Amino acid sequence: MKRALGISLVVSTFLMAETGILETITVEGETFSKEVKDISGEELKSADLAEALSRQSSSITLIRGSGIANDIILRGQKRDNINILIDESKVYGGCPNRMDPAITHINADNIENVKIVEGPYDVEHFGTLSGLVVAETKTPSKEPSGEVNLGIGSYGYKKASASASGGNEYIRALFSASTEESDQYKDGNGDNFSDQINNAIAQGMGVAGNRYSKSDLEAYEKKTFMGKIFINPVENQEIRLGYTLNRSDNVLYPSRTMDADRDDSDIYTLGYSFYDLGTYSKELSLETYKSKVEHPMSTKNRVAGAMMYMTAKMDTEMEGAKLKNVVNLGGGELTYGIDVSKRNWDGESYMTTVATGASTTPTLSNTIPDVDTTNKAFFAHYEKNIDRFNIQMGTRYDDTTIKAHRAGQSLVQRYENDYDALSANAILTYKATDNVDYFIGLGKASRVPDARELYHPANSTAILDQVTNYEADLGFKTHYDGFGVKGKVFYSSLEDYIYYNADAKKYVNIDATIYGAELDAYYDISDTLTLNYGMSYLKGQKDEPLAGQSDKDLADIVPLRAVTSVTYHTGDHALKTEMVAAKRWSDVDSENGEQALSGYAVFNVKYNYKVTKHFDVTLGVDNLFDKTYATSNTYKDLTLLSYSGSDDTVMLINEPGRYLYANLRYTF
């Protein structure tokens, strides 16, 4: 079965390609970007944007940590190696162990489209090393409109959301709110989170104190709100005000040693744009934002916390501004501007006695030591069409200071680091015919270490260089009536790549290489039947093994993965069947905690019926055959439940088993 699955994936790779709907993948001016449309309308299972994207793009893989609040890998990259934005604002998670990654603070209910840029082809935003994910939220409309969604699913899942928008030519507003909750899901073996921990401990991973104190704890509760007001004081000006709130409570993370008491985030945005100002400005815009995240995590739900439990409270704040001007120049379009930002990351830990509620004095020496990351940058981008050629060039200069305001960390050797970097890229697209495009891209981009990599006392010395990505991409796109294919290969040379050495228990700089291929296709079999297919393949290697090790395999390099779907659509009915499949994950960095994962093929079905003009119902089944499988590996840059002996096995968390869901939607 495993061999047959691998062969079918390889063969299908050379026949067709990619997940989602290829019609949404654009080339003109955005050669290396994909656009996943109508997230809020299509992804009704939950508000987890990470899970939604892993179903819509074969190059994105889910990192499972819980029933919600999961992370992503994009073409073998995660954490700060990929940039996550909500519109033009940036939010970071507070947890050093990625229990609240940036993408979890963006609610899928509020997302209209998601733009995915693969590679170092973005110069407007700080930290785009190997990819950019921009969640574009809904915008207010002039006409009164809105919708109400009610959803239920397996394992006690309940969800309700509503939004309303309207205005006139001078002012428009949109308000959206949602609430959802779920019990612990069960995997294909029928085990919930508590059972999975118990099974792992029985096999020597973790200790008895890591067990949950109750087997039926709720997995999470989540509430969100988004408000936007757009004002047009005169015809060529627009003011944009926005606020996004996320409140997640009691989020269980079974493979970690703690759970999140809450994940609270607030994002404030203000934008002002001037249009058609004359020869020297086609558009002049100012974007400002501030985001704040509070993330206390504790052991109070574990057996070890029955009498006294530990809490680690992590806070992070981000504020930034970008001034950008667009002007016509030399038959093309020049975009240039300045970008500034500052992030603070701080933490404390303390113990609480259950009987009295009394807490000890906060301990500061074993957390992030009040670190500021301050960035100032200039960027420019130029695009021009010459006959059948589209030429794009971009550059960015960054000046970054990272300073820890608390000394006394056990391994840290210095408390201030300064970095500067010059990034650049060039993209050439050739339109061979009206139906065929060829493109090539060359890019260089850097990103600085974050506060955990530099200053966390358990695994940092503060002696790290910034990582630089030198990348080349080559591809083509064909598009005909009812049929389209897009293929791409890439090669990424990572200099001073920041990597976790499990033997030394610290982050180090290494040189590494990642290369791969992607293929995307759609085919309208008939007026009512559409086939979509997606594939991604990656290979990653360290140039040299880490000190004291022999394995050259790079962590987080997801194996050959494909997503195939067939959609039947006629009148008011739509039926989509989908297969998500991956080869066995055998090329792993075992010396740094990864383990081989079995290949899998999972089948999902979704049916939508438009009952009336304003009312529709969606029914779905994920993992139709109740398969037990895992997508997330165990690279030791995360602290997971593990056995401390020579076996050194780390707990895997399985994906949900058969999951049924229903959604009722009313629009006006």
pLDDT at 341: 98
Please list, in sequence order, all residues whose beta carbon lies within 8 angstroms of the beta carbon of residue 156, skipping any fewer than 6 positions away: 181, 182, 183, 218
For 409-466, strand residue ranges (E) read 416-433, 436-447
pLDDT tens readout for residues 384-443: 999 999 999 999 999 999 999 987 766 677 889 999 999 999 999 999 999 999 999 999
- Assigned token pair, 224: 């969100």
Determine phi and psi for 121, rounding to 5 degrees: -110, 35
Dist. CA 379–CA 397, nearest whole Å: 7
Please list, in sequence order, all residues whose beta carbon lies within 8 angstroms of the beta carbon of residue 355, skipping any fewer than 6 positions away: 307
What is the average pLDDT score of the chain? 91
pLDDT at 648: 60
CB 341 within 8 A of CB 320: yes
DSSP for 236-272 reads: TEEEEEEEEEEEEEEE--TTSS-EEEEEEEEEEEEEE
Please list, in sequence order, all residues whose beta carbon lies within 8 angstroms of the beta carbon of residue 481, skipping any fewer than 6 positions away: none
Dist. CA 263–CA 94, nearest whole Å: 8
- Report the run of H or E that residue 576 belongs to, with start and end: strand 573-582
CB 623 within 8 A of CB 658: yes
pLDDT at 364: 85
Determine phi and psi for 6, rounding to 5 degrees: -60, -45
**pLDDT tier at 204 (50, 70, 90 boundaries)?**
confident
Q: Domain range holding 170?
A: 2-667
pLDDT at 40: 63
- Assigned token pair, 545: 């093994």
The β-bridge partners of 376 are 340, 399
Number of separate domains in the chain? 1
pLDDT at 41: 61
Neighbours of 9 (CB within 10 A): 21
Q: What is the mean pLDDT of residues 458-462?
A: 76
Dist. CA 235–CA 63, nearest whole Å: 46
pLDDT tens readout for residues 319-343: 999 999 999 999 999 999 999 999 9
Q: What is the mean pLDDT of residues 303-308?
A: 95
| Cα–Cα separations (whole angstroms), residue 167 to 144, 145, 162, 173 | 7, 10, 18, 6
pLDDT at 410: 64
Dist. CA 540–CA 261, nearest whole Å: 36
The radius of gyration of the chain from alpha carbons, rounded to an integer in Å, stands at 24
DSSP annotation of 642 reads B
Dist. CA 30–CA 27, nearest whole Å: 5
Q: What is the mean pLDDT of residues 180-209?
A: 94
Q: Provide the percentage of residues in the chain whose pLDDT is more than 90.
A: 82
pLDDT at 157: 96
> pTM of the full predicted structure?
0.91
pLDDT tens readout for residues 482-507: 999 999 999 999 999 999 999 888 99
pLDDT at 406: 87
- Residue 212: alpha-carbon gap to chain centroid: 28
The pLDDT of residue 161 is above 60: yes
> By three-state DSSP, how is residue 200 classified?
helix
Window from 349-363, 480-494, 645-659 with minimum mean pLDDT? 645-659
Long-range residue pairs from 382-385, CB within 8 A, at least 24 positions apart, any chain: 382/329, 382/332, 382/333, 382/334, 382/335, 383/29, 383/332, 383/333, 384/330, 384/331, 384/332, 384/333, 385/331, 385/332
pLDDT tens readout for residues 553-590: 999 999 999 999 999 999 999 999 999 999 999 999 99
Determine phi and psi for 209, rounding to 5 degrees: -65, -15
pLDDT tens readout for residues 2-60: 444 443 444 343 333 333 333 333 333 356 677 777 666 666 677 788 998 888 888 99
Dist. CA 597–CA 604, nearest whole Å: 21
Is residue 658 classed exposed, middle or buried when 0-12, 13-18 and 19+ CB atoms within 10 A define those classes? middle
> By three-state DSSP, how is residue 409 classified?
coil
- Residue 638 sits in a domain whose CATH number is 2.40.170.20
Pairing of strands 131-137, 237-251: unpaired
The pLDDT of residue 64 is above 90: yes
Please list, in sequence order, all residues whose beta carbon lies within 8 angstroms of the beta carbon of residue 81, skipping any fewer than 6 positions away: 129, 130, 131, 447, 467
Alpha helices in 402-509 (DSSP H): 451-455
- Assigned token pair, 136: 């574009």
| Owner of token pair 């899970």 | 51
Q: What is the 3-state secondary structure (H, E, C) of 66-128?
A: CCCCCEEEECCECHHHCEEEECCEECCCCCCCCCCCHHHHCEHHHEEEEEEEECCCCCCCCCC
Category of 36 on φ-ψ map: left (φ > 0), alpha (ψ -120 to 50) or beta:
beta
**pLDDT tier at 625 (50, 70, 90 boundaries)?**
very high
Category of 24 on φ-ψ map: left (φ > 0), alpha (ψ -120 to 50) or beta:
alpha
> By three-state DSSP, how is residue 57 classified?
coil
- CA dihedral angle for residue 569, residue 570, residue 573, residue 577, rounded to 10 degrees: -20
Q: What is the 3-state secondary structure (H, E, C) of 295-307?
A: EEEECCCEHHHCC
Report the greatest alpha carbon distance in the chain.
77
pLDDT at 459: 72
pLDDT at 274: 97
DSSP annotation of 481 reads T
pLDDT tens readout for residues 507-553: 999 999 999 999 999 999 999 999 999 999 999 999 999 998 999 99
